[in-house]
Each structure stands twice: as structure tokens, then as C-alpha cells.
Structure 1
Amino acid sequence: MTVSLKHKFTSLIPDAGDPTIVQPSNWNDEHALTQATETILGRVSALTGDTEELTPAQVRALLNVADGATANSSDAFLLARANHTGTQLAATISDFATAASLVCLPLAGGTMTGKLVTDASEAVLGAGFNVPHGIVPNAPADGDFWTTAAFGLYVRVNGVTKAMASLDNASQWTIIQTFKTSSTTAASIRLPHGVAPNAPANGDMWTATTGLFYRINGVTQTALSVSDAAAAYQPLTANLTSWGAIARAANFDAFVAAPSSANLRTLLTDEVGT
């Protein structure tokens, strides 16, 4: 409404003709109300009294509003969690512990009811999952896994602790290992060409450009292929071309080359005379 300032009493007497005196209409008319710019009428002084012109600072003090404060946003904006900043103590949030237990795994441990998907490993942030080095548990449960600095990764399966084979460290199997059957695209096992070890151990196997080698009872042996055997030795089903591999009696070669009576006599050991 428009501000109006009049006397409470309204005069019904008509105006007289003298304009130099206050007329009844002047009494009944609106009175001019003036005040300084950027002020609000009110009162900050104690007790009831005259109206005062209040400065902006006095008005803010009365309204308990900080200097430079902005107008409040809508309730919908203020209630939206996405628009909240700063921190708040968990103890001041109703049902916080109950709600957090449904989505957070306690630091003291717990049982997950769903699948755990970790972040992918990154060059800077590191692996997506980390199991710090420790020692073997006294009573591991099936499904437990842990790491140690001495070897590597262990897992408990069906009541037995399994040591995972490492590609970087020497591993010893305690049971026989059966490799995949070879195919037209891949062999069952591969020993890349290298050089002979300086101190091979019994059972060691290696390959070089000259063949396959293995260590047996402290001696390095060379595996003989079928083609190598065919080149070095004559097949049993073929005619002999050499006596080289047969132990022969003295003078036997001379008799075979020239089977004369004289050569036969030198070959025989129990014959005397001519």
C-alpha cells in the first residue's frame, strides 16, 4: 500500500478566505515525509521513541544478515545434495551409519554380497588392487590369498595352500605337469635357442643352434634325432658298407679283402704248419 501520513482527526470546517493561515483542508491533507537517501525508517535506540533513519549496517544488524549476503535460492536447489559444499560431521546426519553400511565396506573387514570390480591399473595411480607383502596365515580359509616377499602369490584352495607359479622366479612343481597337446599351430613346450649353462644341474634341458642338450648324472648329453642317427649309423636292414662298428679279429680284414689260404692261415689261431 502507499505510505500515507495524516492527522488522525479530520476537520469538517470549510476553509476560510485567508490563504496565509492554515486552513482545515491543509490539516486534512497528506503531509510530506522526507528522509535521507539509502536509509530505512525504524528504531534501534532503546525503549519506545521517535522513528529513526536507519543506515544499511543498522538494518543488516536488525535482520541478522551479513554484509554482501545473497538472496536464498529455492528450497529445491538448497535441498539437492549435488549443490552442497563443505563438510558435515557424520554424527549430525540421521541414519548415516545405516546407509553407509549398505554401500561401504568397513575398514575392519566384512563380507561382500556382490561382485567387486576395481579400477583399471594406471601408470601413475598404480594397480587396481593391492595385497601388501606379509607372512603365511596360521589358519587360512579357502579362498584366501596373500603375498610374501620371499616368493610371491599364494591362494588357499580346498584346504590346500597353492603357490602360484611366477614367470620371473624359479618355481618347483610338486606334482607331474601335463602340457597341452601340440597342434599344427603350436608346440606343447618351447625351449628357445641359447647357449650351454656354465653350471648345468642334473635334469636341465636346453637348446642351441646345434641341437637339444640335457644334463644326466653330471654329464651333458646331446639328444640324437632320427635324421642324425641315419647320417651317423647304417640301418640294420641295409647291406653293410663298413666294418667300422664291428670288433674284428686280427687279420680278418686282410682275409675278407683277399680270401687266400695264406690269409686264412694267419687268421686262424689254432692252426700250425703250412
Structure 2
Amino acid sequence: MSVRRRLGTGLRLARDSLDVLRDHPNLLWFPVFAGLAGLLFLVVVLGSTFGLLPFAAAANVSDAVAFAAVAVAILGSTFVATLFTAGLMFAAREAMHGRRPSVRGGLRAAWERKWTLLAWAVVSAVVGVVVRALQESNNVGAAVVGVLFSVSWAVVTYFVVPVAVFEDEPITGLFGRSVDIVRDTWGESLGAEFGLGFVHLLLFGSVAVLAVTVAVLTSPFVGVVFVGLPLGVVAFVVASTLNGIAKVALYEYATGGDPPRYFENVDFDVGSEGGEKRSSALGGIRRGI
């Protein structure tokens, strides 16, 4: 299969995801609230620990307390991001099924899976810290291992959050189920990443060009603070929302066999040879939704 075909599939996924977003702009609130909630959590935990807030007990803390505070901050912010991502995916699925999604409904559905999502947040946070340590190591071999492991981990866990939200899988079954779906849709998933990555490049590239232009015409401060930062946040919110919508569309196709609403024109079978592979793949899915 050609790179052009994968890129075309991903671009159509991104375009149709934009159609979902156009009809349901309230989906944008999920990454917005995730960012605000995560920032507030970090301020409260780290600020109260290291004396940055008025109600902090003491500015001088022991190494053990400082380590515990940082660990709680990482875990908590990861859980917040996961919770809102799960809520976004539930709401996006509601839209694909012809229902009206809401932030409250999405978060309620995500909260029903809170313990599974929390367990996943713990695993994700620990792996993230380990990978970061490897990548920042002075040892070239360790840095390479960190990069390779990071890529492999992203592939293996690609569908972990939708599986956690839409299926009654415990934390021990999330990874195997995600791997099954990735294996069944490897071409489609890769095509989506190609296309969405290109769209993200256009988004952030446009913001960078505009910010640099304003900085040259006025001042670097104006270009960065009044153009680059706010438009960068907007681009990040849009990109995160499109990612969540497209991933749900892939999940729906992988587990249902038919393109979901809004995505009927997408040629999902970029990784299969005719319809035979898809039929075989669907026959191997262990359980439905």
C-alpha cells in the first residue's frame, strides 16, 4: 500500500472529524477543561508542598515529601487528562450514533470507569517517567532504547482508552484488547496517524508563521504573547479533539465492521487485501460492545 493512500485516508479522517466538530463544537471543551483541571491540580499539589501558596505549611520540605508531591502531581495530572480524553471519546461516539453529546454526559460515562482509568493512569505515568529518563540519559544506547520503547508503547496502547470506556475490560485486559484492535487495523491506524500528523503540522506551522510575522513587524513580545501562545493553545485544543474523534471512528470500524456516521466516505481498508482480511479480523474479535 502506498504512503499516498495512507495519507489520503488520514486526511479524509481528519476532514470528517472536522465535520463532527463543526456539528458538535462543544467537544472542544473536553481538552480545554482537561488543561484547566490539570493545571489547577498541579498548582494545588506543588504549591502547597513547596510554599508557593499562602496556605502552605512550610517552604522547606524533605526529599521524601518533595518526591511524593511530584509523584502525586504526575499521577494526578495524568489521570485528569485520561478522564477527559475518555469523556471526549464517549461524547464523540454519541455524535456518530446520531445522538447529541454533552460534556456532562461524557464525563459521567468516563467516571463510571474511573478505577480502570486510574489504574491505566498509574501505568502510563510510570512508563512515561521511565521513558523520559532513558531518553535524557547520557548513554546513547539507553536513549535509543527509550525512543524505540516509546514508539512501541504508543502503538500497543493506541486503543487502550476507548477499550476502557466502551468495553467492560479490567486493567489486565486492556493491553491485549488494544493490541488485538491495532493488529486488525494496523493499516488504517497508520494511515490515520499519517493524515492527522499532516493536519497538525499545518495547524501549528500556520501558527508559527503568523507569530513570526507579527514578531518581525511589531516585536517578539507581541508575536509570542499575543499571537503565538493563544493561537498555539487553540491549535492544541483542536488537534487533541480531532485525535479523539478519529480514534473513536477507527475503533467503531474495527469492532463493528462498517464506517460510522460521518465517515462513510473513508476507505478504511488501507491495510487489507480486499475484504477478506477485514472479515477475518472481525471474526477474531473476542467480544462486541
TM-score where L is the length of structure 1: 0.17
The structure with more helix, counted as a fraction of residues: 2
The structure with more strand, counted as a fraction of residues: 1
Higher Rg of the two aligned structures: 1
